[in-house]
A and B are shown apart, each in its own frame.
Chain A
Amino acid sequence: MTDPAATRHGPGRILILVYGVFALAATARAGVQIATQFDQAPIAYILSAVAAVIYIAATFALARATKVSRRVATVAIVVELVGVIAIGAFSYAVPEDFPEATVWSHFGQGYGFVPLVLPILGLLWLRRTS
């Protein structure tokens, strides 16, 4: 059994910083959208807020790197992966329900598809360090 702290070292250093930047960006964006123009697309903005919370949880859970926090990170990242695939698919299938983009619309196209790749790398990293 490797040291759980391994999660935050090595390549995990980059991974956690990427998560942190997404947490910051998603939180700021969702906050502004909900505060100023919530009526325009409530579903999209609530989903943006949910995404923000998941990014925050994943960032801190990966960075804390204890046995328990690794489990929290795994759950958060699985939800993130399901979310980005589901929202990505829905945004193509019923675009009229997504008039305003969320982080996960079109599989994260607006963010260079990083939102799609990030959870995959996150899960691989958790497996690698387990």
Chain B
Amino acid sequence: MFEPLTWALVALSLVAMVFAIVLAVLDKRINWTLLAILAVVEVGLLAQLVIGIIQLTGTDRDVSGVFFVGYLIGGLIVLPLGALWALAESSRWGAGALAFACLVIPVVEQRLHVIWTT
């Protein structure tokens, strides 16, 4: 695992989550700034998928490859789905839903870390 990327993804998705919660509290819909942050996270997740698979093929560790790649791919799906789901909602609850999608990323990162290190 490339740790700095993991930490950056956790930090950025938490920033996005707080941003989404603020929008929801202010009764606003999601905006382009939030989507731009999530796009950066998504690019990072894509990079992590590539790096993860390369490292997986070169490691001596006994990593559960299927679960590892499963979480890498699963993490990629969550934000686009959450964003589409949030865009189709005209109330503050769209931003609330997207906040939850953001929270999934740190959970995925934690699982990836555990799978890699144990």
Of A10, A14, A32, A36, which one neighbours B100 at CB under 8 angstroms?
A14
Interface residue from A9, A16, A20, A28 paired with B91 (Cβ < 8 Å)? A9
CB interface residues, B 65-83, toward A, < 8 Å: 66-67, 70, 74, 77-78, 81-82
- B52 at the binding interface (Cβ < 8 Å): no
A16, B67: Cα distance in complex, Å: 25
Q: How many residue pairs at the A-B interface have CB separations less than 8 Å?
A: 46
Assess the B100–A17 pair: CB atoms within 8 A.
Answer: yes
Closest residue to B71 on the A side, CB-wise?
A: A28
Q: For the side of the interface on A, what is the size category?
A: 10 to 19
Give every chain B residue within 8 A of A10 (Cβ-Cβ). Answer: 91, 93
A32: nearest chain-B partner, CB-CB = B66
With CB as the reference atom, state the residue of chain B lying closest to A63. Answer: B85
Using CB atoms, name the residue of chain B closest to A10: B93
Name the A residues within 8 Å of B81 (CB-CB): 17, 20
| Nearest 7 A/B pairs, CB to CB | A13-B93, A13-B97, A17-B97, A14-B97, A13-B89, A14-B96, A10-B93
A and B contact pairs by CB, cutoff 8 A, 12 listed:
A11-B96, A13-B93, A13-B94, A14-B96, A16-B97, A17-B81, A17-B97, A21-B104, A24-B77, A24-B78, A29-B70, A36-B66
Interface residues in chain A, defined as those with a beta carbon under 8 Å from any beta carbon in chain B:
9-14, 16-18, 20-21, 24-25, 28-29, 32, 36
Which residues does B use to contact A, with CB under 8 Å? Answer: 66-67, 70, 74, 77-78, 81-82, 85-86, 89, 91, 93-94, 96-97, 100-101, 104
